[in-house]
Amino acid sequence: MRFLEWWASLSASIRYPVAVLILGVSTVGFAAMRSYAGGKLLGLGWALGFILLLYGPSDADKKGYHS
């Protein structure tokens, strides 16, 4: 959980390129391997990439409201 808190604290100019890089590397790895291992790499890479791509500070955190 601390990783996701740390991830959300990073600026968007760092978070988005890293997440897209993970998606790209998993896609290239799938295209290069075309095997069962490549399919697992694609699935895990895309899952991790999409989670990191979508996870970020909430609207309340962006506005400075903290309970």
Task: Give the DSSP H or E segment for 59.
Answer: helix 59-63
* Sequential pLDDT tens for the chain (67 residues): 788 888 888 888 898 999 999 989 888 877 777 666 666 767 888 899 999 888 877 665 666 665 5
The three-class DSSP label of residue 27 is: helix
Task: Supply the pTM of this predicted model.
Answer: 0.72
Domain positions in the chain: 12-56
